[in-house]
A and B are shown apart, each in its own frame.
Chain A
C-alpha cells in the first residue's frame, strides 16, 4: 500500500528539501530551528517498512549519493555501491541520503538565512557535533515515516555518523556499516583540520565569516584547505604512481614557483574545483564537528559501553594504505564491540589508493557489503 502512494508523495524522490520545525537541541546547549534538510530517496519503502537504508556522506560530500551532481554534473559519489544491481539497490531497498546540517547543499548551515536577522548566519551558526548531525537525520526519518533502519552505512565522516547512530538510537538500527573511519578524531586528524581552518581564516576575504553579501569569498584559503586535506586522502605510493616527479606540460624545471610538477598542478586543480561547490564557513563547521567527535568520551571513556544498548550487527572495513583513519582505529572499534558481545565483522582490504579507496573501484568492498546486508536476512 505504502509503495503505491510513494510516487505521489512529495516527501520521496530526488532533490527533496524539507523544513522541520525543530527546535533541534544541540550538544553545545544551543538549539537549531527551523531545520532545513536537503535529501534524496531512492527505491520504495516496503509495506512493513523494513527495507530502509540510510547512507551518510563524508566531510565534503552531499545527498547526491547515486544521482548526478547538480553543480559538477558528475555521477553520484557512491554510484559504485548504491544503484541498480549494486549492494545497496533501489529495487530492494528504500535508500535515504541527506545533506548533513552545517553543510551547504541545501541543509541548514552557516550560509542559511537566520530568520531573526534576515542575513546569513555565517559564524553565528551554532557549532555542531557529529551526534547533532545524526539527530537531524533522525528527525528527517521521523518525517519520512521510517522508524527503523535495516542499515546505516557511511565512509569516513559518514562512518562516524553510522557508528554514532546505534549509540544514540539503539532501537532504530539493525545493522551498521562503517568504512574507512574511526571512533574518535586523533591529534593528527585535528592538526590537519586546523591547518585548513587557519588557511580559510587567514584569507582576507574571509572577514570573520561575513563574506556572503558581495560574493568575494575566501576561495584562496578554502582551496589551500582542500589541497592540504586532499593529501591526507591519498597514499604516498598512490601519489608516486600517479605523478612521481614528473613535470607538468614542460621539459625542464622553470626555476620559479609555477606548478612545475604534475602533483602541484593536480592539487591546485583539486583546490580550485572545490571552491566552486563548497562554502568556506561550512568547511570550518564540519571539520570542527569531526574534531569534537569521540564516542568513548561521551560514554565515560568506555567505547564498549556506547554500544551495550544496541542489538545491531556491525561491519567495519579499513584499507591498508589509509593513514588518515588507519586500520588500528577500526580495530579499536572491533575490540570494543567484541568486549560487548556484539555481532561484529571486520576486514582490512588492500588498495593502493589510501583513504580515498572507499569511493573508488573495489570489488571486495562490494562483496563484503553485499554479503553483510544479505546475511541479515538469512
Chain B
C-alpha cells in the first residue's frame, strides 16, 4: 500500500496516464515514483540531488540517479518521456526558466509545482512585519532556505506566456484541498501546472 502523498504529488499521481513513462526531477525519496509504479504501472525514473534520498529510493527498487537539475538534464534525450515532473524544486534551481525548457524538451508534457510566494500570509508578513515570510509551507529563514528563486503564480504565468509554452492544466491548493482559480495568486499556497511546448 502506498504511503500518503503530499497534496501536489497526489494531484499529479491522479493525472498521469496509466503506463506512461515519467521522469521525476527532484524525486526525493521516490514517494511519487513508487505510487505511480504501484498504482498506475508507470515506468518512472528519478533524478535527485541528495544522496541519502537516492539511497532510500533505490532501496525501494526505483531507478533514481543522483544529480542536479541545473546541470544533468541535458544528458536525457529529446521526448524520451511522456511526462517530466518538477515538484517543489523549481524555486531551488539556479535557472528555473532553463530547467523548465529542459523538462519540455525531455517530456512531451511537464508538471511543475511550486509554493506560491504571493500567498496572502507571506504578503502580510512582508507588508506589516517587514520580514521575509516564515510560514508553515515556507518554514525556513531567509539565510538557510534552499529556495533561491521565489516565484508567484502570476510570475510563473508571465514566464509561460513570454516563452510561448502552452498550459494544459493548472491546479491550486490550499492545504490539501484544491482551491479556486480566481485570485489564485493571493489565495493559493501551492500551484501545479501541466505544460507543453
Residue of B nearest to A313 (CB): B63
State the CA gap A344–B76 with chains docked (Å): 12
State the CA gap A378–B37 with chains docked (Å): 10
State the CA gap A368–B64 with chains docked (Å): 11
* Contact flags A78-89 to B (C-beta < 8 A → 1, else 0): 000000000000
Known: A331-B67, A334-B67, A350-B51. A370 touches B80 (CB 8 A): no
Cβ-defined contact, B54 with A347, below 8 A: yes
Q: Hey, which chain B residues are within 8 Å of A302, CB to CB?
A: none
A361 vs chain B, min Cβ distance (A)? 15
Cβ-defined contact, A347 with B63, below 8 A: no
**Interface status of B84 (Cβ within 8 A of chain A):** no
Cβ-defined contact, B66 with A371, below 8 A: no
**Interface status of A23 (Cβ within 8 A of chain B):** no
Known: A338-B75, A341-B77. A364 touches B61 (CB 8 A): no
**Interface status of A30 (Cβ within 8 A of chain B):** no
B76 vs chain A, min Cβ distance (A)? 5
Residue of A nearest to B54 (CB): A347
* Contact flags B77-99 to A (C-beta < 8 A → 1, else 0): 10010000000000000000000
**Interface status of A372 (Cβ within 8 A of chain B):** yes
Cβ-defined contact, A371 with B60, below 8 A: yes
Cβ-defined contact, A371 with B80, below 8 A: no
Q: Hey, which chain B residues are within 8 Å of A245, CB to CB?
A: none
**Interface status of A339 (Cβ within 8 A of chain B):** yes
Residue in A335, A367, A376 whose CB lies within 8 Å of B55? A367
**Interface status of B194 (Cβ within 8 A of chain A):** no
**Interface status of B19 (Cβ within 8 A of chain A):** no
Query: In the complex, how many residues of chain B place their beta carbon closer than 8 angstroms to a beta carbon of chain A?
Result: 22
**Interface status of A349 (Cβ within 8 A of chain B):** yes
Known: A338-B75, A339-B76. A345 touches B67 (CB 8 A): no
The interface centre, meaning the residue of A343, A346, A347, A348 with most chain B CB atoms within 10 A of its CB, is A347
Residue in B45, B62, B66 whose CB lies within 8 Å of A375? B62
State the CA gap A165–B65 with chains docked (Å): 21
Cβ-defined contact, A339 with B55, below 8 A: no
A120 vs chain B, min Cβ distance (A)? 45
B39 vs chain A, min Cβ distance (A)? 13
Known: A331-B67, A339-B77. A345 touches B51 (CB 8 A): no
Residue of A nearest to B62 (CB): A375
Residue of B nearest to A320 (CB): B51
**Interface status of A374 (Cβ within 8 A of chain B):** yes
Known: A338-B75, A339-B76, A368-B59. A348 touches B66 (CB 8 A): yes
Residue of B nearest to A342 (CB): B63
State the CA gap A343–B43 with chains docked (Å): 9
**Interface status of A136 (Cβ within 8 A of chain B):** no
Q: Hey, which chain B residues are within 8 Å of A315, CB to CB?
A: 58
Cβ-defined contact, B62 with A370, below 8 A: no
A346 vs chain B, min Cβ distance (A)? 4
Residue of A nearest to B106 (CB): A338
A343 vs chain B, min Cβ distance (A)? 5
| Residues of chain A in range 303-360 having any CB-CB distance to chain B below 8 Å | 313, 315, 331, 334-335, 338-339, 341, 343-350
Cβ-defined contact, A338 with B76, below 8 A: yes
The interface centre, meaning the residue of B37, B52, B67, B75 with most chain A CB atoms within 10 A of its CB, is B75
Known: A348-B51, A349-B51. A338 touches B65 (CB 8 A): yes
A70 vs chain B, min Cβ distance (A)? 35
Q: Hey, which chain A residues are within 8 Å of B61, CB to CB?
A: 371-372, 374-376, 378
Cβ-defined contact, A347 with B51, below 8 A: yes
The interface centre, meaning the residue of A315, A341, A346, A376 with most chain B CB atoms within 10 A of its CB, is A346
Cβ-defined contact, A345 with B59, below 8 A: no
State the CA gap A343–B58 with chains docked (Å): 12
B94 vs chain A, min Cβ distance (A)? 18
Residue in A331, A334, A343, A367 whose CB lies within 8 Å of B59? A367
| Residues of chain B in range 19-74 having any CB-CB distance to chain A below 8 Å | 37, 45, 51-52, 54-55, 57-67, 72
Q: Hey, which chain A residues are within 8 Å of B75, CB to CB?
A: 334-335, 338-339
A182 vs chain B, min Cβ distance (A)? 17
Q: Hey, which chain B residues are within 8 Å of A372, CB to CB?
A: 58-59, 61
Cβ-defined contact, A345 with B64, below 8 A: yes
Residue of B nearest to A335 (CB): B75
State the CA gap A367–B37 with chains docked (Å): 20
Beyond the given A339-B75, A345-B57, A367-B59, could you list 4 further A-B residue pairs with CB under 8 A, ordered by the A residue number? A315-B58, A338-B75, A343-B63, A378-B37
By Cβ-Cβ distance, the 10 closest A-B pairs, closest first, are A375-B61, A371-B59, A335-B75, A347-B54, A346-B65, A343-B63, A345-B58, A367-B59, A338-B75, A368-B58
7 sampled A-B residue pairs with Cβ under 8 A: A344-B65, A346-B54, A346-B65, A349-B55, A350-B51, A368-B59, A376-B61
